[in-house]
């Protein structure tokens, strides 16, 4: 099968009567997003030093009978205004980190959507398998009735009758397993979504091109974003090891009171300010090593982008190969349907001639129905494979 031009079915949220994810999952993701916003704001302002407010009060009588009361209040700041580019790249780092973390949150949301839809696909496949089992049970019961009649008439084999009974028993056990599995899938779905899995309208996906799958992939875009983050960290480390200029200053208020045994006071006020700047050039013997480590991380991020492209390319080919295999199985089932059509037509003629019974016809009709159900199962399996491509696309409509 050749890759077709991508056709996005951008399904509105109304398709599910609301968001696919339940309220708890949505709130969890919402809190994660809020945390990212606050982390970004904190990082973006990390280069700004705090303003220090200081108040002190003291009282002593070290001067004979004189008691001295001192009150001081000061406002001081020591703020870097130039750090060889480190300030600029710390702001860029905060913005790029925010976008990268937002992509990670979106990938978590998409993973939950994929899980929920995966459970829904498996549930519908299980229901179809249940239908096949019921058709096979009907055939097994007919087979037992025929073999029992043959055995009672002395022309049948007890071993064949026993095998037919065991086959029916195994089919009933398989049916019980399918029902149990369907209940488990329902509960797993409820852990993620509050919607009704029975009434869920599943999306219909078309095969997308490999180029668009890679270029629009959230993991690929996140890897490209982390490259920018690593570059910012490298530039920050570089700037921190070179010249920096700080503005510093303080405003000070001081009041002293003196008293003796007699109620006589002297008040001495001393208000002053201090402003200036400082230039710092750190000599750090580990500076080159720190810079080189961040540079290595940045260079590695470029390699990881190419590695992610390779992984996605192989993932797409793997899905395409599996889809081709499913298409081949569908083709085989369609061929079998034509064979059963011929057999059913021949059996109808044999019934009219008295050489076959209605039971023989029913067995063939049931078997023919299973061919159609198997085709429906394979189509759902194809959709589940396509979901594995779609759920990480950045421009896949939000549910």
Q: What is the pLDDT of residues 282-296, one digit of tens each?
A: 777 788 888 899 999
What is d(CA 204, CA 376) in angstroms, rounded to the nearest whole number?
Answer: 13
Q: What's the CA angle centered on 111, arms 224 and 24, to 5 degrees?
A: 120
**CB 182 within 8 Å of CB 130:** yes
Tokens of 196: 């009704």
Q: pLDDT by residue (tens digit) across 196-207?
A: 999 999 989 999
**CB 124 within 8 Å of CB 202:** yes
Residue with tokens 């180029």: 211
Per DSSP, the three-state class of 177 is helix
Long-range contacts, 255-263 (Cβ 8 Å, 24+)? 255/70, 255/71, 255/72, 256/68, 256/69, 256/70, 256/71, 257/68, 257/69, 257/70, 258/66, 258/67, 258/68, 258/69, 259/66, 259/67, 259/69, 260/65, 260/66, 260/67, 261/65
What is the model's pLDDT at position 256?
76
Nearest CA among 314, 315, 107, 108 for reference residue 221: 107
Question: Which strands, in side-by-side order, build the sheet including 52-63?
Answer: 52-63, 66-82, 244-259, 265-280
What is the model's pLDDT at position 42?
81
DSSP state letter for 69: E
What is the model's pLDDT at position 261?
58
Least confident of 12-16, 19-23, 51-55: 12-16
Nearest CA among 307, 129, 302 for reference residue 226: 302
What is d(CA 324, CA 208) in angstroms, rounded to the nearest whole number?
Answer: 14
Q: pLDDT by residue (tens digit) across 109-133?
A: 999 999 999 999 999 999 999 999 9
Q: pLDDT by residue (tens digit) across 134-190?
A: 999 999 999 999 999 888 888 878 899 999 999 999 999 999 999 999 999 999 999
Beta bridge partners of 269: 255
Q: pTM of the full predicted structure?
A: 0.82
């Amino acid at each position: 099968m050749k890759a077709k031009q991508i056709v996005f079915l951008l399904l509105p949220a109304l398709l599910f009567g609301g968001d696919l994810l339940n309220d708890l999952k949505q709130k969890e993701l919402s809190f994660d997003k809020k945390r990212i916003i606050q982390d970004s704001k904190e990082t973006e302002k990390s280069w700004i030093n705090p303003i220090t407010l200081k108040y002190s009060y003291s009282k002593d009588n070290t001067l004979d009978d004189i008691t001295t009361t001192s009150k001081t209040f000061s406002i001081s700041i020591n703020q870097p205004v130039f750090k060889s580019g480190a300030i600029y790249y710390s702001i860029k780092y905060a913005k790029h980190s925010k976008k990268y973390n937002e992509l990670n949150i979106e990938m978590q949301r998409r993973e939950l959507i994929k899980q929920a839809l995966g459970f829904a696909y498996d549930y519908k496949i299980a229901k179809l398998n249940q239908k096949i089992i019921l058709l096979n049970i009907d055939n097994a019961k007919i087979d037992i009735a025929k073999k029992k009649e043959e055995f009672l008439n002395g022309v049948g084999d007890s071993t064949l009758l026993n095998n037919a009974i065991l086959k029916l028993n195994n089919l009933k056990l398989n049916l019980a397993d399918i029902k149990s599995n369907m209940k488990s899938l329902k509960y797993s779905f409820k852990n993620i979504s509050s919607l009704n899995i029975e009434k869920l309208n599943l999306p219909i996906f078309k095969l997308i091109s490999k180029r668009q799958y890679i270029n629009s992939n959230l993991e690929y875009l996140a890897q490209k974003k982390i490259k920018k983050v690593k570059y910012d960290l490298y530039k920050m480390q570089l700037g921190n090891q070179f010249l920096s200029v700080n503005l510093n200053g303080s405003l000070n208020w001081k009041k002293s009171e003196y008293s003796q045994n007699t109620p006589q006071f002297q008040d001495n006020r001393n208000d002053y300010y201090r402003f200036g700047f400082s230039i710092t050039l750190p000599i750090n013997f580990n500076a080159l090593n720190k810079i080189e480590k961040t540079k290595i991380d940045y260079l590695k991020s470029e390699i990881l982008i190419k590695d992610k492209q390779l992984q996605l390319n192989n993932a797409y080919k793997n899905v395409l190969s599996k889809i081709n295999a499913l298409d081949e199985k569908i083709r085989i089932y369609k061929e079998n349907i034509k064979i059963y059509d011929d057999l059913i037509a021949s059996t109808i003629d044999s019934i009219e001639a008295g050489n076959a019974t209605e039971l023989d016809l029913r067995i063939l009709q049931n078997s023919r129905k299973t061919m159609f159900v198997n085709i429906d199962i394979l189509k759902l399996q194809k959709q589940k494979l396509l979901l594995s491509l779609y759920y990480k696309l950045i421009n896949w409509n939000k549910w």
